[in-house]
């Protein structure tokens, strides 16, 4: 039996994508368990991912309330990068901003439940695509900071979704898209907006990724569910069934689907 606070699954860019489930100090290999029975039991304890204190409720994906109020990683601008206020001198943790926000970011297109636009730190792009359950992904441009990437994303999002329909994503692999053609189409449509951003931040604000190639991913799924039934430790402390696949940060069981990221910091024991 493995026991500890749940963390988001670790991924490996294998074919299909490889997965490990961190529980405390241990990492449960999930690849070898696909097709077999698994059981996860919530031990009625939630430990903050930052300070480790017990909390009755998880905030901002695994934090206690005080940490969710003071950490820059829990600020609204993490979800809405265009609202970054680092340059105003009001960042909750300027050192964190230096290492996470004032770094090169990619604006990308992905095929998850269909075409979407997103951003990620340049060095973790592949991990981000696997975490989102993307079947295809393509860098569109490299931006100097997270804020600039967020402004570009907001401009593109007026023409293409910036969200994944997780239910559609879990129903099967989406039809392949010509992401190269979509990149050219969106750059043309958003030409005026991109020029405005460049005027505001200078010629080094971003650089188009015209030489980038499409990345493709396969996920370890034996069978996609016909009906999406979300599983929740808040409603059912014990989640069990046959592990039929993994996609994004979701475990696909014959009894339903579990969003691992939603229950980060829940102390869970696992068997299987």
Residue 48 within any structural domain of the chain: yes
Residues 6 or more apart whose Cβ sits within 8 Å of residue 143: 104, 105, 106, 107, 119, 149, 152, 205, 206
Residue 69 within any structural domain of the chain: no
pLDDT band of residue 209 (cuts 50, 70, 90) is very high
**Predicted confidence (pLDDT) per residue in 217-227, tens digit:** 999 999 999 99
**Predicted confidence (pLDDT) per residue in 113-171, tens digit:** 999 999 999 999 999 999 999 999 999 999 999 999 999 999 999 999 999 999 999 99
- Kindly state whether residues 92 and 34 are assigned to the same domain: no
**Predicted confidence (pLDDT) per residue in 231-244, tens digit:** 999 999 999 999 99
Residue 81 within any structural domain of the chain: yes
What percentage of the chain reaches a pLDDT higher than 70? 100
Q: Quote the domain boundaries for residue 225.
A: 2-62+220-271
Pairing type for strands 10-12 and 26-29 reads unpaired
Q: What is the model's pTM?
A: 0.94
* The total number of structural domains that make up the chain: 2
- Kindly state whether residues 45 and 144 are assigned to the same domain: no
Does 106 have pLDDT greater than 80?
Answer: yes
Of 38, 43, 33, nearest in space to 265 by CA: 43
- Kindly state whether residues 102 and 190 are assigned to the same domain: yes
Q: For the chain, give percent helix, strand, coil, nearest 5.
A: 30, 30, 40
pLDDT recorded at residue 272: 73
- Kindly state whether residues 104 and 134 are assigned to the same domain: yes
Q: Of 216, 232, 252, which residue constitutes the final position of a domain?
A: 216
Average pLDDT, integer, range 198-206: 94
């Amino acid at each position: 039996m493995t026991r500890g606070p749940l963390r988001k699954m670790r991924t490996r860019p294998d074919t299909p994508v490889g997965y490990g489930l961190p529980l405390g100090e241990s990492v449960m290999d999930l690849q070898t368990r696909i097709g077999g029975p698994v059981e996860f039991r919530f031990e009625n304890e939630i430990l903050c991912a930052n300070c480790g204190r017990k909390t009755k409720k998880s905030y901002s994906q695994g934090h206690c309330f005080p940490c969710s109020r003071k950490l820059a990683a829990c600020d609204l601008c993490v979800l809405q990068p265009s609202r970054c206020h680092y340059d105003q001198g009001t960042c909750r943790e300027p050192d964190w901003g230096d290492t996470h926000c004032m770094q090169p970011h990619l604006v990308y297109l992905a095929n998850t439940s269909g075409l979407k636009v997103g951003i990620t730190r340049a060095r973790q792009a592949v991990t981000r695509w696997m975490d989102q359950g993307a079947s295809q992904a393509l860098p569109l441009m490299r931006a100097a900071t997270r804020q600039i990437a967020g402004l570009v994303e907001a401009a593109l999002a007026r023409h293409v979704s910036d969200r994944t329909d997780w239910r559609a994503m879990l129903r099967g692999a989406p039809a392949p898209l010509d992401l190269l053609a979509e990149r050219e189409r969106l750059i043309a449509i958003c030409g005026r907006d991109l020029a405005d951003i460049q005027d505001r931040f200078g010629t080094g604000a971003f650089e188009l990724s015209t030489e980038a190639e499409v990345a493709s991913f396969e996920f370890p799924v034996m069978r996609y569910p016909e009906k999406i039934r979300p599983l929740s430790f808040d409603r059912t402390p014990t989640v069990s069934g046959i592990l039929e696949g993994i996609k994004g940060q979701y475990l696909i069981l014959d009894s339903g689907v579990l969003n691992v990221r939603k229950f980060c910091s829940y102390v869970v024991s696992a068997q299987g």
